[in-house]
A and B are shown apart, each in its own frame.
Chain A
Amino acid sequence: MDAFLATPLGVLALTVAQAMALLVPLLIGVAYLTWAERKVLAAMQMRKGPNIVGPFGMLQPFADALKMLMKETIIPSGAARTLFIMAPMITFMLAMLAWAVIPVNEGWAIADINVGILYLFAISSLGVYGVIIAGWASNSKYAFLGALRSAAQMVSYEVSMGFVIVTVLLCVGSLNLSDIVRAQEGMWFIIPLFPMFIIMFISALAETNRAPFDLPEGESELVAGFFVEYSSMSFALFFLGEYANMILMSALITILFLGGWYAPFDIAPFTWVPGPLWFIFKICFCLFVFVWVRATFPRYRYDQLMRLGWKVFLPLSLLWLVLTAFVLKIFGWLPGGV
């Protein structure tokens, strides 16, 4: 068996098996995230939410998926066909691709690469292409306006997100995601870097086009934004991609600030729970806050959104970055003993 795994074919088989072991639970997680979002929103608005299909409406996501599959795929006659079909695939693939480097537990990553955080940042910065190509290829003004809004928004918030990541990297001294988690064994970064955590969370909301920053799809003004023209499975791919991206951003926040797979306290009842479960709990917590924010805040106006990104978050994160560097240097806490 070990000899087979050392051959190229064996490595391939192992990698495929690992990817399946990650992606299948992830997709089920995405399905149940849609269900959980509707349930939580319903509870916050004093409604019942989905409760007909299966016990507590638990089979609702599968009913929805089946409905999507049965519908006809409509391609507008004025659309650029190839790009129109490619756009949802790009969105979905990128959302899946990023999970290759996420460490779920000590040593549990499909690819534990040196520049893991850069890979994650690169993949998440590509997400804008699915949106912008969809908007352009649809040949519809609503879709195009949504795509333009989205492109500007995602590029804006990436900048402050980059500074947040650099601040964390200063404290870690490595670009490897497992190293970032390991550096938080004593204290999670949310405690010393709390303002950066807030900036990161809000930027993640903007990056995933979630409320209150859901202007690209703003139902009341742009119908549904960049995916107005999409139907059936191509729409479902956008939908899945968006929710998978939410989970991804939650995982990123968990890794950067919430101590990854570590238990909150290193004492008996907490340490009985295995690491991956802690990782999932923390992701679920972040996702709950995503939904909570959606139920609470009204949508931002577009100029306010740009102002928040460029005039508030960018200087603030830059300032905190310089401050962190100073503190680390003065107290001699820089990692790597420089």
Chain B
Amino acid sequence: MIAAIAFYLFAAILIASAVMVVTSRNPVHSVLFLILAFFNAAALFLIAGAEFLAMILVIVYVGAVAVLFLFVVMMLDVDFSAIREGFQRYAPIGGVIGLVLFAELIFVFGSWSFADNAAVLRLNPMEPGVENTRAIGRILYTDYVWLFQLSGLILLVAMIGAIVLTLRNKPQAKRQDIGKQVSRMGSVNLRQVRSGAGLAELGIERPPVDAPAEKPKPIAHDHAHGGHH
């Protein structure tokens, strides 16, 4: 009973916050609602007993991806009224795209076929006594190891692509070479100084002591200038 109540509560918040992501006027609020949606999705995973997926969802999406989203959205200088002006003009195109996607979904759902042992697997997804972290690992690194590695490779290519696109090697840009700085010699010297030794003993020059130091002239403080003390 409690699990059912929790499920409906989290699902309701999830859908409500997903709607708010699309409808809220401020993009920063949108991202924050997106984070709330991720959270509730993680809670649904927890209710389904998939604790590993729930935690990974929070770590990856909320802890890293959404932070960068928020980071970018906060720094963008967006003119909100300009965005809303174009709404009427682009609404038909958006509607058509939405319809095409919807039709495709229906098509996929209609022609969906399950594997032969899917029903049995769904009833008993993992052997009793095996944590789901271990269960996922057993499948991911055996049956699906090539797909798993391939997806990693795709992400790597995307990352390198992003770096290549944004990296600009301007010749006039000043760069630091930390190794060179640390290993430089000659310009600054460290000397072992015996404690208690005077400067003269160490051979460090200083102005001769016997010359009478020129005393700074005392500033005349006469009241003739009208200064009031």
Give residues in A with beta carbon < 8 Å to B: 8, 83, 113-115, 118-119, 121-122, 125-126, 128-129, 132-133, 136, 144, 148, 151-152, 155, 158, 175, 303, 307
Question: Given the known A-B contacts A8-B2, A132-B70, are A175 and B133 also in contact in the complex, defined by CB atoms under 8 Å?
Answer: yes
Please report the C-alpha to C-alpha distance between residue A129 and residue B32 in the assembled complex, in whole angstroms.
Answer: 10
Stretch in B52-60, B87-95, B110-118, B203-211 with 4+ CB within 8 Å of A: B52-60
Verify B68–A122 contact, CB threshold 8 A: no
Verify B71–A132 contact, CB threshold 8 A: yes
B28 within 8 A of A: yes
Verify A118–B71 contact, CB threshold 8 A: no
B67 within 8 A of A: yes
Verify B35–A129 contact, CB threshold 8 A: yes
Complex interface bits, B66-93 against A, C-beta within 8 A gives 1, otherwise 0 = 0110110011000000000000000000
* Closest CB pairs A-B (n = 6): A125-B63, A118-B55, A122-B58, A122-B59, A115-B51, A115-B55
Cβ of A144: which chain B residues have Cβ within 8 Å of it?
A: 74
Shortest CB-to-CB span from B177 to chain A, Å, is 12
Shortest CB-to-CB span from A170 to chain B, Å, is 12
B64 within 8 A of A: yes
| Cross-chain contact of B63 among A115, A132, A148, A158 (Cβ < 8 A) | A158
Further pairs besides A122-B55, A129-B67, A148-B71: 8, Cβ < 8 Å? A8-B2, A83-B32, A114-B131, A114-B133, A115-B133, A119-B55, A122-B58, A158-B64
Give residues in B with beta carbon < 8 Å to A: 2, 28, 32, 35, 51-52, 55-56, 58-59, 62-64, 67-68, 70-71, 74-75, 131, 133, 176, 178
Shortest CB-to-CB span from B99 to chain A, Å, is 36
Please report the C-alpha to C-alpha distance between residue A152 and residue B64 in the assembled complex, in whole angstroms.
Answer: 10
Shortest CB-to-CB span from B17 to chain A, Å, is 15
Cβ of B68: which chain A residues have Cβ within 8 Å of it?
A: 155
Cβ of B70: which chain A residues have Cβ within 8 Å of it?
A: 129, 132, 151
Please report the C-alpha to C-alpha distance between residue A136 and residue B70 in the assembled complex, in whole angstroms.
Answer: 10
Verify B71–A126 contact, CB threshold 8 A: no
Shortest CB-to-CB span from B27 to chain A, Å, is 11
Cβ of B75: which chain A residues have Cβ within 8 Å of it?
A: 148
Question: Given the known A-B contacts A136-B74, A155-B64, are A118 and B59 also in contact in the complex, defined by CB atoms under 8 Å?
Answer: yes
Verify B58–A151 contact, CB threshold 8 A: no
Please report the C-alpha to C-alpha distance between residue A175 and residue B134 in the assembled complex, in whole angstroms.
Answer: 10
Cβ of A83: which chain B residues have Cβ within 8 Å of it?
A: 32
Please report the C-alpha to C-alpha distance between residue A8 and residue B1 in the assembled complex, in whole angstroms.
Answer: 11
Verify B59–A121 contact, CB threshold 8 A: yes
Interface centre among A83, A115, A129, A151 (most CB of B within 10 A): A115
Cβ of B2: which chain A residues have Cβ within 8 Å of it?
A: 8
Give 19 CB contacts A-B under 8 Å: A83-B32, A114-B133, A119-B55, A121-B63, A125-B59, A125-B62, A125-B63, A126-B58, A129-B35, A129-B67, A132-B71, A144-B74, A148-B71, A148-B74, A151-B70, A152-B71, A155-B64, A175-B133, A307-B178
Verify B67–A151 contact, CB threshold 8 A: yes
Cβ of B67: which chain A residues have Cβ within 8 Å of it?
A: 128-129, 132, 151, 155
Cβ of B28: which chain A residues have Cβ within 8 Å of it?
A: 136
Cβ of A303: which chain B residues have Cβ within 8 Å of it?
A: 176
Cβ of A136: which chain B residues have Cβ within 8 Å of it?
A: 28, 74
Cβ of A113: which chain B residues have Cβ within 8 Å of it?
A: 51
Beta-carbon nearest neighbor of B58 in chain A: A122
Please report the C-alpha to C-alpha distance between residue A39 and residue B227 in the assembled complex, in whole angstroms.
Answer: 49
| Cross-chain contact of A132 among B51, B52, B74 (Cβ < 8 A) | B74
Shortest CB-to-CB span from A212 to chain B, Å, is 17
Cβ of A126: which chain B residues have Cβ within 8 Å of it?
A: 58, 62-63
Please report the C-alpha to C-alpha distance between residue A144 and residue B56 in the assembled complex, in whole angstroms.
Answer: 29
Please report the C-alpha to C-alpha distance between residue A177 and residue B156 in the assembled complex, in whole angstroms.
Answer: 32
Verify B71–A151 contact, CB threshold 8 A: yes
Beta-carbon nearest neighbor of B132 in chain A: A114
Verify A125–B52 contact, CB threshold 8 A: no
Cβ of A152: which chain B residues have Cβ within 8 Å of it?
A: 71
Cβ of B55: which chain A residues have Cβ within 8 Å of it?
A: 115, 118-119, 121-122
Please report the C-alpha to C-alpha distance between residue A303 and residue B175 in the assembled complex, in whole angstroms.
Answer: 11
Shortest CB-to-CB span from B6 to chain A, Å, is 12
Verify A125–B64 contact, CB threshold 8 A: yes
Please report the C-alpha to C-alpha distance between residue A232 and residue B2 in the assembled complex, in whole angstroms.
Answer: 39
Please report the C-alpha to C-alpha distance between residue A255 and residue B218 in the assembled complex, in whole angstroms.
Answer: 69
Beta-carbon nearest neighbor of A154 in chain B: B67
Shortest CB-to-CB span from B67 to chain A, Å, is 6
Please report the C-alpha to C-alpha distance between residue A62 and residue B7 in the assembled complex, in whole angstroms.
Answer: 43
Shortest CB-to-CB span from B3 to chain A, Å, is 12
Shortest CB-to-CB span from A169 to chain B, Å, is 10
Please report the C-alpha to C-alpha distance between residue A90 and residue B35 in the assembled complex, in whole angstroms.
Answer: 13
Please report the C-alpha to C-alpha distance between residue A118 and residue B58 in the assembled complex, in whole angstroms.
Answer: 9
Please report the C-alpha to C-alpha distance between residue A144 and residue B67 in the assembled complex, in whole angstroms.
Answer: 14
Beta-carbon nearest neighbor of A336 in chain B: B134
Question: Given the known A-B contacts A126-B62, A132-B67, A136-B28, are A118 and B131 also in contact in the complex, defined by CB atoms under 8 Å?
Answer: no
